[in-house]
Structure 1
Amino acid sequence: MTASPGYADRPWLGRLTAAQLAPVTPPPSVLDAFRAAVARAPRHPAVAYFDGRLSYAETDALSDAVAGHLAARGVRRGDRVAVMLQNTPHFVLAVLAAWKAGAIVVPLNPMYKSREVRHILRDSGAAALVCDARAWPAYLREAVRDSAVHTALTAHDTDFQTRDDVRVLGPGRDPQAAAATAGPTATLPAIPRQNHPDLPVHHAAAGAAPGPGVADLTTVARQGRPAPPHPGFAAADTALISYTSGTSGTPKGAMNPHGALSYNAVRQVTGHPVPEGAVYFALAPLFHITGIVCELAACFANAGTLALAHRFDAGAVLDAFLEHRPAYTVGPATAFMALAAHPAATPDHFASFRVISSGGAPLPPALVERLRADFGFYLRNGYGLTECTAPCASVPPHLEAPVDPVSGTLSVGVPGADTLVRILDEHGAEVPFGESGEIAVRGPQVVPGYWGLPDDTAKAFPDGELRTGDVGFMDRDGWLYVVDRKKDMINASGFKVWPREVEDVLYTHPAVREAAVVGVPDPYRGESVKAYVSLRPGASVEPGELSAYCAERIAAYKYPRQVEVLPVLPKTTSGKILRRELRERG
């Protein structure tokens, strides 16, 4: 008698292309991949920032000098360097420099406040901080007190452009003027910062503990200091300590190995029809694992050009699409909602792309079809976590993700050739195909654990397999579907309600731009369903209409008894809607 097929049979392999199935031999680190790109394409632009360009040779030399500065300041192999910046060339230089100095990068969300920064700096034991020049005197100088930080580098977001103007702010940009002033290897003028009033070197008062030494990153980068000897990373060495987004509690630092970054970067290149040297647009923030792997690392593995536009502004991003004509980007569903809602958006803005992917937040099927109808591109779904060093499932380039006919959930794709995904019950046993349970992942991209948290590591990674905390199911063809987070499940009169299912219904309403569903206390049901929505520009709808709309389409215990319309829903900088804040709002 033949046994029934199971997850170990990896039914998804039949969905993959030959390139996706072929074995890969990634370099030990992204730094090695970058240096290989420098060797074969030294004059090719590595970074494009509005009208400024940095070639691979220039980026290599500038990051060498920053690495030399860090080493001279006492940063050693295994030390942690926190990088708290928007999508600017300084971020790229800081990450490369930290790795060249043998350090571990700790990416920080630049929207964090003092308390959040203080927690991560102390938890990681960071020795250095790279941050915005305005944020340093405003609050970061105080945030580093009582931490191990002894060195700070500050950055001006108008550096590395040929014109020192307000282009980073987004509104009012002129893409025609930008195209006229941009060049493939623009020469960047020196911007003196040594005596800049915003950048005092910190001197402690008499009797006080000495503060960190402070310097301007751009000035340091142009001093021509040599880098320390090549650190010679092994694949198992830690490249990043990536703190989870904290949407559901205190952030934990996932230890992403160099080999995991390099593996996923190479798989991104081999799995997508993007030519070598292409432009990768950084729509996702680089401090997020999606941005640093799928944009920065994949771009360097492909000797491409990483196009940056500071922070997300829909108008500025659309202008940048016309200016740089990128072939690839990835971002959360909320970013594409904002782009689609912008009055200037046209199909031409997206015409250059070979692949456009979504990750980091649920992707409603209605949005995929709306984007295809209005702008002519197919938005490819994907699934990953910080603990998976970004992607562990994606939609193959020759296929489209199916929609589950029962729940209406869009598949997040299929696992990769070297990845094993299983669906488990509450006891850790596999459930049959088609049944929901916790998603578990094993593969070369899974991190070994959390920084300084052995108990949390043991719980989340039994025998090296990641228990994601996400609920989902897999069909017999290997398509993976993510239902929701375990902790977000609503118990209404004993019935389970997954917010994602209700949100997907709300997204089909023509007036709804964003939707989030939470459970709120109910004296009769225990919990009842409440929806928060924001509306598309020019749209109007009464809350009762949305409630009735859902009631016609899902079971009576699932539809939202309460609907509240907000101008915009709270989100992390990486685009995840913060259900926790909405629950606290009530």
Structure 2
Amino acid sequence: MEHTIEKPWSRHYPEQIPASLTYDEKPLQSFLEESAQAYPEKKALHFLGKEITFHELYEQVKAFASYLQKLGLEKGDRVAIMLPNTPQSVISYYGVLMAGGIVVQTNPLYMERELEYQLKDSGAKMIVCLDILYPKVSNVKARTDLQHVVVASIKEYLPFPKNMIYPFIQKRQYKLVVNVEHNKDTHVWSRALEEASGEVAAVDIDPKEDLALLQYTGGTTGYPKGVMLTHSNLVSNTQMCKAWLYKAKQGEEIVLGILPFFHVYGMTAVMNLSIMFASKMVLLPKFEVEDVLKTIQKQKPTLFPGAPTIYIALLNHPSLSKYDLSSIEACISGSAPLPAEVQEQFERVTNGKLVEGYGLTESSPVTHSNFVWSNRVSGSIGVPWPDTDAKIFKPDTTEEVEVGEIGEIAVKGPQIMKGYWNRPEETDNVLREGWLLTGDLGYMNENGYFFVVDRKKDMIIAGGYNIYPREVEEVLYEHEGIQEVVVAGIPDPYRGETVKAYVVLKQDYSLTEEELDQFCRKHMAAYKVPRIYEFREELPKTAVGKILRRALVDEEKKKQSIDNQKTV
């Protein structure tokens, strides 16, 4: 792809990053085979003390793929994976692809209603789940197309004596002991691998056309939609990621796997990248701040993809200074805006680089990022990745706005989805002449750096003024007492909407509404200043740590509706 001056960001690319790459036209799982051949004895996974080499990982993936084929999996069949970050989540993902199936990543936190919806919508024939989730799966199975359930357990990959102790911990923590019998339609993971032949029938995959993944979007605008991502979508985005991290060395990196793989960002920036890079993945099934700090000190990860809430939680842990985090060389933060204060503080603590990136499920997911080791712009999502084009359109059109003017961010490139599963109308709404309309409002400066102002749907219109929650949040994050904050527009009979801030204070810090109000009035126009503050212990979040603004707005509307009924 030719870069012309129309793409002003191309001038800023360091010489190590090509503006255009040559992409491997092959299935995603072939990178595992290549890493296993080149680095058979290198550690691929570290899980709570247990380590697995690339050769062992590849053999187990082949075993699982052969088992799926024996159960009748055919090319294009959907297989749901409902697991936290465990060895089974990596093995089943690549095993499904090797067998010719399409992965349907399923959040382990789903309740039965959400699980049933996703299984029905995707038409999944099989599911791999954790033993403690098996009762949920059993309860919905009859109302779906599921024919086979493979049940995995954390203890299967724990070293001795942890594997002996774990069932007791599980019983105490979840008040649940699940005994699963291996039979014709329910399969115990360890038995399945023991019985598998390891002989995988070759499946002809067209990387550009054939789907690797149905990734469901968060469903903030109604029911979740299955995003159709091809092998080429995922391969190209992972190769872009590799090119961006040009100082990282093949076969030598250690990647911290705390971002969940059932989220597209963790799947690309941790799992697929690690397999392609032949990096060791340090898997953490759950985000516990002290466990993460201990793991960083002990395992010495060099790359740490994350989300702002993860970095904020680590920085605010009272024992932070006791831990050595200096192994960390690079972090790309995604899924939510990265406050400048957090970036600066995290870089001071680790001496590594933390930069903000941007993307969507529909783009596999990354489209933009700041440069890790060269020029970056605070508050910006950076510049488009290689072979990725981006423009700012007038809302609901494909007409470009002037430089510096706010409009809807649109992106184009080899990582853009094929469309939404069984939803042609919704696909047509967001894909226009090859451009993906992101639903995010932003602008591009004269140097080609992009800035997200807010979600189109999150913009607050109060008393006729357009107010962008992110701008207000940035100001509030500058206050030394604030750990986390989210700003939302809530219904107001006079102004239409009014600005409300939900605030989590740092430990042992006290603040009043009046103090915050004075602070905000010093830093922004009066019409942007929150009219209401609510102090909370914590904020609702997605599994990847993105704060759920929409959930707070819905909660507020419900509360107001109840209050109105009382007054009637």
Q: Distance in 1 between matches of 2:295 and 2:205?
A: 35
User: What secondary structure does 1:307 align onto?
Assistant: strand
Q: 1:375 to 1:299 in 2, by over 3 A?
A: closer
Q: 1:158·1:164 contact (CA, 8 Å) conserved in 2?
A: no
Q: 1:393·1:415 contact (CA, 8 Å) conserved in 2?
A: yes
Counterpart in the other structure of 2:437: 467
Q: 1:168 to 1:496 in 2, by over 3 A?
A: farther
Of the candidates 231, 250, 273, which is equivalent to residue 276 of structure 1? 250
Q: Which amino acid aligns with 1:274?
A: A
User: What secondary structure does 2:528 align onto?
Assistant: coil
Counterpart in the other structure of 1:148: 145
> Is 1:431 matched with 2:401?
yes
Structure 1 residues 533-583: Cα deviation after superposition (integer angstroms, max 9, x where no partner): 111122221123222211221111111010001100000001111111111
Q: Distance in 1 between matches of 2:187 and 2:408?
A: 47
> Is 1:225 matched with 2:197?
yes
> Is 1:198 matched with 2:196?
no
Q: CA deviation at 1:245?
A: 1.5
User: What secondary structure does 1:18 align onto?
Assistant: coil
In the TM superposition, 1:229-240 aligns within 5 A as 229-236=201-208, 237-240=210-213
Q: Distance in 1 between matches of 2:25 and 2:47?
A: 27
Structure 1 residues 403-437: Cα deviation after superposition (integer angstroms, max 9, x where no partner): 3xxxxxx0011102201000000232101111111
Q: Distance in 1 between matches of 2:165 and 2:212?
A: 29
Counterpart in the other structure of 1:566: 536
Q: Which amino acid aligns with 1:468?
A: T
Q: 1:380·1:400 contact (CA, 8 Å) conserved in 2?
A: no
Q: Distance in 1 between matches of 2:200 and 2:348?
A: 53
Q: Distance in 2 between matches of 1:227 and 1:80?
A: 21
Q: 1:82·1:130 contact (CA, 8 Å) conserved in 2?
A: yes
Q: 1:197 to 1:288 in 2, by over 3 A?
A: closer
Q: 1:157·1:310 contact (CA, 8 Å) conserved in 2?
A: no
Q: 1:309 to 1:163 in 2, by over 3 A?
A: farther
Q: Which amino acid aligns with 1:438?
A: E
Of the candidates 53, 64, 67, which is equivalent to residue 65 of structure 2? 67
Q: 1:430 to 1:480 in 2, by over 3 A?
A: same
User: What secondary structure does 1:134 align onto?
Assistant: helix
Q: 1:164 to 1:68 in 2, by over 3 A?
A: farther
Structure 1 residues 205-254: Cα deviation after superposition (integer angstroms, max 9, x where no partner): xxxxxxx8111113322334224223242222111100012234321111
Of the candidates 10, 13, 28, which is equivalent to residue 10 of structure 2? 13
Q: CA deviation at 1:520?
A: 1.3
Q: CA deviation at 1:52?
A: 0.6
Q: Which amino acid aligns with 1:262?
A: V
Of the candidates 437, 455, 473, which is equivalent to residue 425 of structure 2? 455
> Is 1:321 matched with 2:290?
no
Counterpart in the other structure of 2:172: none
Structure 1 residues 294-333: Cα deviation after superposition (integer angstroms, max 9, x where no partner): 1111111111111101111111111111222111121110
Structure 1 residues 175-195: Cα deviation after superposition (integer angstroms, max 9, x where no partner): xxxxxxxxxxxxxxxxxxxxx
Q: Distance in 2 between matches of 1:349 and 1:224?
A: 43
Counterpart in the other structure of 2:224: 251
Structure 1 residues 509-552: Cα deviation after superposition (integer angstroms, max 9, x where no partner): 11111111111122221111000011112222112322221122
Please give the TM-score of this superposition, normalised by the length of structure 2.
0.91
Unaligned runs of 5+ in 1: 1-5, 173-195, 203-211, 404-409
In the TM superposition, 1:90-239 aligns within 5 A as 90-137=88-135, 139-165=136-162, 198-201=179-182, 213-236=185-208, 237-239=210-212
Structure 1 residues 5-44: Cα deviation after superposition (integer angstroms, max 9, x where no partner): x997211111112332152332522201111111111111
Q: 1:530·1:563 contact (CA, 8 Å) conserved in 2?
A: yes
Q: 1:514·1:533 contact (CA, 8 Å) conserved in 2?
A: yes
Of the candidates 368, 380, 388, which is equivalent to residue 419 of structure 1? 388
Q: Which amino acid aligns with 2:198?
A: P
Which is further off, 425-434 or 367-376?
Answer: 367-376
Q: Which amino acid aligns with 1:414?
A: V
Counterpart in the other structure of 2:215: 242
Structure 1 residues 495-518: Cα deviation after superposition (integer angstroms, max 9, x where no partner): 001111111111111111111111
Q: Which amino acid aligns with 2:234?
A: L
Q: 1:222 to 1:17 in 2, by over 3 A?
A: farther
Of the candidates 449, 467, 470, which is equivalent to residue 479 of structure 1? 449
> Is 1:391 matched with 2:366?
yes
User: What secondary structure does 1:328 align onto?
Assistant: coil
Q: Distance in 1 between matches of 2:478 and 2:160?
A: 44
Which is further off, 542-551 or 53-62?
Answer: 542-551
Which is further off, 523-532 or 225-234?
Answer: 225-234
Identity of aligned residues (%): 33
Q: CA deviation at 1:281?
A: 1.2
Q: Which amino acid aligns with 2:524?
A: I
Which is further off, 390-399 or 464-473?
Answer: 390-399
Of the candidates 41, 56, 59, which is equivalent to residue 58 of structure 1? 56
> Is 1:290 matched with 2:287?
no
Q: Which amino acid aligns with 1:425?
A: K
Q: 1:168 to 1:300 in 2, by over 3 A?
A: farther
Q: Distance in 2 between matches of 1:319 and 1:374?
A: 15
Q: 2:381·2:450 contact (CA, 8 Å) conserved in 1?
A: yes
Q: CA deviation at 1:149?
A: 0.8
Q: 1:131·1:153 contact (CA, 8 Å) conserved in 2?
A: yes
Size of the aligned set, in residue pairs, is 540
Q: CA deviation at 1:77?
A: 0.6
Counterpart in the other structure of 2:458: 488
Counterpart in the other structure of 1:187: none
Q: Distance in 2 between matches of 1:287 and 1:251?
A: 14
Of the candidates 357, 371, 377, which is equivalent to residue 346 of structure 2? 371
Which is further off, 429-438 or 159-168?
Answer: 159-168
> Is 1:552 matched with 2:519?
no
> Is 1:32 matched with 2:34?
no
Counterpart in the other structure of 1:209: none
Q: Which amino acid aligns with 2:382?
A: G
Of the candidates 81, 84, 87, which is equivalent to residue 85 of structure 2? 87
Q: CA deviation at 1:342?
A: 1.4
Of the candidates 501, 507, 518, which is equivalent to residue 477 of structure 2? 507
Q: Distance in 2 between matches of 1:523 and 1:65?
A: 62
Q: Distance in 2 between matches of 1:543 and 1:129?
A: 49
> Is 1:263 matched with 2:244?
no
Q: Which amino acid aligns with 2:467?
A: V
Q: 1:7·1:421 contact (CA, 8 Å) conserved in 2?
A: no
Q: Distance in 2 between matches of 1:400 and 1:346?
A: 29
Q: 1:34·1:301 contact (CA, 8 Å) conserved in 2?
A: yes
In the TM superposition, 1:290-369 aligns within 5 A as 290-346=265-321, 349-369=324-344
Q: 2:23·2:235 contact (CA, 8 Å) conserved in 1?
A: no
Q: 1:157·1:168 contact (CA, 8 Å) conserved in 2?
A: no
Q: 2:307·2:333 contact (CA, 8 Å) conserved in 1?
A: yes
Q: 2:370·2:377 contact (CA, 8 Å) conserved in 1?
A: no
Unaligned runs of 5+ in 2: 170-176, 557-568
Q: CA deviation at 1:343?
A: 2.1
Q: Distance in 2 between matches of 1:254 and 1:94?
A: 20
